[in-house]
Structure 1
Amino acid sequence: MDSTWLVPVSLAFGFVVGTGLVSLMHFAALRGERAHDVVNSSVPDGVDAVIDALESAGIVVDPSNVVVKASPGALAFGLVGNNSLVHPELTEMVNRVRRSGERLTDEVTLSRGPFGEANIVLSVRVARLGARYVLLVADDRTESHRLDAVRRDFIANISHELKTPIGAVGLLAEALQAASSEPDQVRRFAKRLTKESERLARITQEIIELSRLQAADALTEAEIVSIDRVVSLSLDETKVAADANNVTVISGKKTGALIYGDEALLVTALHNLIANAIQYSPRGSRVGVGVRNSDGVVEIAVTDQGVGIPEVELDRVFERFFRTDPARSRRTGGSGLGLSIVKHVVENHGGDVRAWSQLGRGSTFTIRLPEASRAVATAGDKK
């Protein structure tokens, strides 16, 4: 048998087998690369840097909803824990985008942190990032919602506060007309009408004053102000109220303290504190006004012997229209804006106001203001 033909056949067979092996190895390599891509948790190039630079909360999740990248904001909001989304609401949004392929925007309210002590309101946007990943971006809208609620409450409170005296004025006017032939009744209704009109004017003026204080140019006419003079003027303005309520107002010695600001606004603020102390003091008690300056800070303290303020309400006394005793405030004509005006006046002067109280023992409100340097005061005197 001639064996010469076996050589080419063997070579051809070897070539086929070798080619097949190479193809199998190449195919296996491609499958290995695809498998690596499936399990690899790295995000597309450049996304890491973008997420790190985000001020918003940014999160990238893989097909298994494992968080492969999270911005500092996402961690600060408590949205990520153990490489997973903490809140089911966010997971559901991610799943919806993965199923539909369409971007999703929604606003959600979530608990902040694992214990859920407080809520945050987030504007959340979710979209696919390439073929595998989903990107979630969230912006904090909590403060915006709080301010909206404050505005709504403010408008509602203004409406309520103005409604009472306006309604009373209308009714009294009708009563006056009906009692025109009865002098005693006319005098009684006229006295009530005057009181309600004064209350209406006071509320309106305080709203205007508060709006002005919230403007950027509230201290356009600032100058050197003597705190001793501010105290003296405030005491003069509250003397009638103190005598009417049989409350004695005493003040400490003069200190010569000076600040840079608006005298009229400071008198308004201190007047409000003293008037508030008189209003909530029992008859025959005393209200003290003291001033001290130390380490560049001037402190004006107003102390009463009144009923005191519950601790849970102490942080709210400077809110607009907040009253610790609504019934009493309305009887005395209080608008609920006095302490809010104090707070804004003091803050516009670069200071702060603090409240201390104990039920049954009274309260102390302390205004703290930066003292004007002697050099500034001297320069102001020479003008």
Structure 2
Amino acid sequence: MGYRASGPGGLTSVVAMETGWLVLLSVALGLAVGAGFVILLHMAERRGNNAVTVVSSAVPDGVDQVIDALDSAGLVLDPSNNVVKSSAKAYTYGLVVNQLLVHEEILEIVARVRSTGESVSEEVTLARGPFGEASIHLDVQAARLGSRYVLVLAEDRTDAYRLEEVRRDFIANISHELKTPIGAIALLAEALDPASDDPEQVRRFAKRMGTEATRLSQITREIIELSRLQSTDILAAAVRIDLDEVVASAVDQNHVVADARGMTLAVGGAKHVQVMGDEALLTLAINNLIANAVQYSPDGSRVGIGVHHDEGVVELVVTDQGIGIPDEDLPRVFERFFRVDQARSRNTGGTGLGLSIVKHVVQNHGGDIRAWSQIGQGSTFTIRLPEAPPASALPQGEKR
């Protein structure tokens, strides 16, 4: 030990001192180990908390409110492509089922965003519903949202595609409709010269030319009328109209044809019912309905025109005893250029625009039109319009 005890008492003192040092050393070592263990536990806890924060971090602040306020489809995807937030339209469009994005086309866009980090904007066409019977056209935009999420926005462009399709069909139809009378007039004009020595032939060709010119003029007039109806707000300049006068004028325009075929135009129902609108256009609409009823009804039959009103709704009904319309064609009768009987319509001078004009006139007056028909029994067309409020209910200066 480096020293020597001088006796029994000295040896005892040395042993006691060594024992004390050992105890102090053990205590210090225990404290150091305990402190280290506590530090390790604290670090482990902090690391665990950080991991939990990473795993369970919520969508960035404000995104929830933005998604809820969207009028289009919006959704947020986590790294596993689970939908953690979505707007109501995302379900309406059929994009989300059970919190999953169900369309591969959009998932491919999301994958590109994750791999490149760049935003993607693309138009996609998807099946609407599980059976794929109809399509929906979407303008899809996808971008990173923070480091983990992807934001997807989808705007429905189906109506724009449908309007473009209608425009193309309209141009194709109008080209076909105009080609027929123009071609007929050209051929008749060519035939006139060789027939110049035959007065009877000249008169016959001239009469045919007049018929085709009248038909061409009617098509042109109705196309212009349709264009005006689509570009004008009728209700902005609406005046109070008595339907008695409108019905009487429309019936008068069809009396000559009806009388020539021994047909009866019977008017009934409520009197002095008033609506707000354009008198000339409403007369045109009712005239078209009556003319159709006369055109497709047998000689000696009856066409009924009635007006009814109840609880602020006016119904104007035109009923015939004609050939009727097949069930499969009934939903299409208001389409431009649609004819139930193509050959008969052309022979009778129909353009296929009459009912389309009626529909647009009625819609521009804030109403709707319905059709019922049975083969061999006849058809009924019902126009529904808002009844004009009492003059006393209108603000001063609007009592027209």
Q: What TM-score do you get using the length of structure 1 for normalisation?
A: 0.88
Does structure 1 retain, via aligned residues, the 8 Å contact 2:269–2:308?
Answer: no
SS of equivalent to 1:311: coil
SS of equivalent to 2:197: coil
For residue 188 of structure 1, the aligned residue among 204, 207, 224 is: 204
Q: CA deviation at 1:208?
A: 1.1
Partners in 2 of 1:16 and 1:374 — Cα distance? 96
Q: Could you tell me which amino acid in structure 2 is paired with residue 257 of structure 1?
A: V
Does structure 2 retain, via aligned residues, the 8 Å contact 1:169–1:196?
Answer: yes
Q: Could you tell me which amino acid in structure 2 is paired with residue 315 of structure 1?
A: P
Deviation readout 1:125-154 (Å, 9 max, x if unpaired): 111111111111111111121112122222
Partners in 2 of 1:190 and 1:220 — Cα distance? 45
Partners in 1 of 2:45 and 2:270 — Cα distance? 91
Partners in 2 of 1:65 and 1:350 — Cα distance? 46
Deviation readout 1:158-207 (Å, 9 max, x if unpaired): 21211111111111111112322221221111111100100000011111
Does residue 249 in structure 1 map to residue 280 in structure 2?
A: no
Deviation readout 1:19-38 (Å, 9 max, x if unpaired): 75466445533542343244
Q: Could you tell me which amino acid in structure 1 is paired with residue 48 of structure 2?
A: G
For residue 165 of structure 2, the aligned residue among 131, 142, 149 is: 149
Q: Which residue of 2 aligns with 1:32?
A: 48
For residue 79 of structure 2, the aligned residue among 63, 79, 100 is: 63
> Which consecutive residues of structure 2, in runs of 5 or more, have no partner in the other structure?
3-17
Largest Rg, 1 or 2: 2
Q: CA deviation at 1:372?
A: 3.7
Deviation readout 1:94-132 (Å, 9 max, x if unpaired): 122212222111111223344545332111111111111
- Report the CA distance shift for 1:86/1:257 in structure 2 as closer, same or farther (over 3 A): same
Worse overlay, 295-304 or 167-176: 295-304
Partners in 1 of 2:392 and 2:183 — Cα distance? 51
- Report the CA distance shift for 1:204/1:219 in structure 2 as closer, same or farther (over 3 A): farther
Q: Which residue of 1 aligns with 2:256?
A: 240
Q: Which residue of 2 aligns with 1:162?
A: 178
Does structure 2 retain, via aligned residues, the 8 Å contact 1:126–1:137?
Answer: yes
- Report the CA distance shift for 1:60/1:187 in structure 2 as closer, same or farther (over 3 A): same
Partners in 2 of 1:66 and 1:222 — Cα distance? 53
Worse overlay, 196-205 or 116-125: 116-125
Percentage of matched positions with identical amino acids: 63
For residue 338 of structure 1, the aligned residue among 350, 354, 366 is: 354
Q: Could you tell me which amino acid in structure 1 is paired with residue 183 of structure 2?
A: G
- Report the CA distance shift for 1:133/1:261 in structure 2 as closer, same or farther (over 3 A): closer
Q: Could you tell me which amino acid in structure 2 is paired with residue 189 of structure 1?
A: F
Worse overlay, 37-46 or 126-135: 37-46
Partners in 1 of 2:151 and 2:237 — Cα distance? 53
Worse overlay, 190-199 or 250-259: 250-259
Does residue 328 in structure 1 map to residue 344 in structure 2?
A: yes
Q: Could you tell me which amino acid in structure 2 is paired with residue 146 of structure 1?
A: R
Partners in 1 of 2:253 and 2:48 — Cα distance? 88
Does structure 1 retain, via aligned residues, the 8 Å contact 2:233–2:364?
Answer: no
Partners in 1 of 2:331 and 2:387 — Cα distance? 26
Mapping for residues 42-61 of structure 1, pairs under 5 Å: 42-61=58-77
- Report the CA distance shift for 1:313/1:188 in structure 2 as closer, same or farther (over 3 A): same
Q: Which residue of 1 aligns with 2:108?
A: 92
Does structure 2 retain, via aligned residues, the 8 Å contact 1:255–1:293?
Answer: no
Q: CA deviation at 1:285?
A: 2.4
Deviation readout 1:276-331 (Å, 9 max, x if unpaired): 11111123322222233444443321111112112232222112222222222111
- Report the CA distance shift for 1:41/1:172 in structure 2 as closer, same or farther (over 3 A): farther
Q: Which residue of 1 aligns with 2:242?
A: 226
Q: Which residue of 2 aligns with 1:356?
A: 372
Does structure 2 retain, via aligned residues, the 8 Å contact 1:317–1:324?
Answer: yes
Does structure 1 retain, via aligned residues, the 8 Å contact 2:235–2:276?
Answer: no
Worse overlay, 329-338 or 258-267: 258-267
> Which consecutive residues of structure 1, in runs of 5 or more, have no partner in the other structure?
none
SS of equivalent to 1:158: helix
Q: Which residue of 2 aligns with 1:110?
A: 126
Q: Could you tell me which amino acid in structure 2 is paired with residue 90 of structure 1?
A: I
- Report the CA distance shift for 1:295/1:86 in structure 2 as closer, same or farther (over 3 A): same
Q: Which residue of 1 aligns with 2:8?
A: none
Worse overlay, 158-167 or 72-81: 72-81
Q: Which residue of 1 aligns with 2:13?
A: none
Q: CA deviation at 1:13?
A: 6.6
Does structure 2 retain, via aligned residues, the 8 Å contact 1:41–1:68?
Answer: no
- Report the CA distance shift for 1:85/1:182 in structure 2 as closer, same or farther (over 3 A): same
Does structure 1 retain, via aligned residues, the 8 Å contact 2:275–2:386?
Answer: yes
Mapping for residues 305-316 of structure 1, pairs under 5 Å: 305-316=321-332
- Report the CA distance shift for 1:127/1:373 in structure 2 as closer, same or farther (over 3 A): closer
Does structure 2 retain, via aligned residues, the 8 Å contact 1:238–1:275?
Answer: yes
- Report the CA distance shift for 1:177/1:69 in structure 2 as closer, same or farther (over 3 A): same
Q: CA deviation at 1:257?
A: 2.8
Worse overlay, 177-186 or 195-204: 177-186
Worse overlay, 119-128 or 48-57: 48-57
Q: Could you tell me which amino acid in structure 1 is paired with residue 91 of structure 2?
A: L
Q: CA deviation at 1:365?
A: 0.8
Worse overlay, 301-310 or 219-228: 219-228
For residue 297 of structure 2, the aligned residue among 281, 284, 288 is: 281
Partners in 2 of 1:59 and 1:254 — Cα distance? 55
Worse overlay, 191-200 or 236-245: 236-245
Q: What TM-score do you get using the length of structure 2 for normalisation?
A: 0.84
RMSD between superposed Cα atoms in Å: 3.1
Partners in 2 of 1:374 and 1:30 — Cα distance? 76
